Amino acid sequence: MVRKKTLYKKTSGIVLGILLLCLYFSVQAHAVGIVSGRYPTRTPTELSLEVKVGSPTPVNLIIIQRLPPGTALAAANPPYKKYNAKKGEVRWLLRNVQAGTITVQLKLATPVKPDQVSAEIRCMDPVTGKLVTTQVK
């Protein structure tokens, strides 16, 4: 009888450990799939950032487009929230986003090399409440 109880305690501990690991990795995989981004267009004077938003959707997105400092902007769609020319950072705050694809376009008055630009997408994970940051190169 004592042997059965000991075996039960050992196996239940192992099963609990496996379940916790599965839960941990499923939450990690979910966080990675909330948002993703890529540049379908990246020329010296035009950038197009495609952001895919998964489900459940975050309420808001912050997009930070990094350019060489001093780059002059010609146009943006949607309009950006803030541009810091000294840092070369263009920021958008997109509210009440829906699942699907969002395209952010930027036309530059100053040409840049395509490898000089990158972006960062930030949002709160709707499941865990943690800040998620996705880098786009």
For 40-63, the pLDDT digits (tens) are 999 999 999 999 999 999 999 999
* CB contact burial 92-103 (16+ within 10 A = b; e otherwise): bebeebeeeebe
Distance CA 137, CA 135 (A): 7
pTM (predicted TM-score): 0.77
The pLDDT of residue 15 is 52
The range of the structural domain enclosing residue 19 comes to: 1-32
Same domain, 67 and 16: no
- CATH number of the domain where residue 80 is located: 2.60.40.290
Half-sphere exposure of 35 (CA within 13 A, CB side): 29
Distance CA 4, CA 19 (A): 22
The pLDDT of residue 31 is 44
Same domain, 47 and 68: yes
Which alpha helices (DSSP H) does the chain contain, by range?
2-32
Same domain, 95 and 108: yes
Same domain, 25 and 12: yes
Same domain, 123 and 62: yes
Q: What is the mean pLDDT of residues 72-83?
A: 98
- Reported as a single tens digit per residue, the pLDDT across 105-131 is 999 999 999 999 999 999 999 999 999
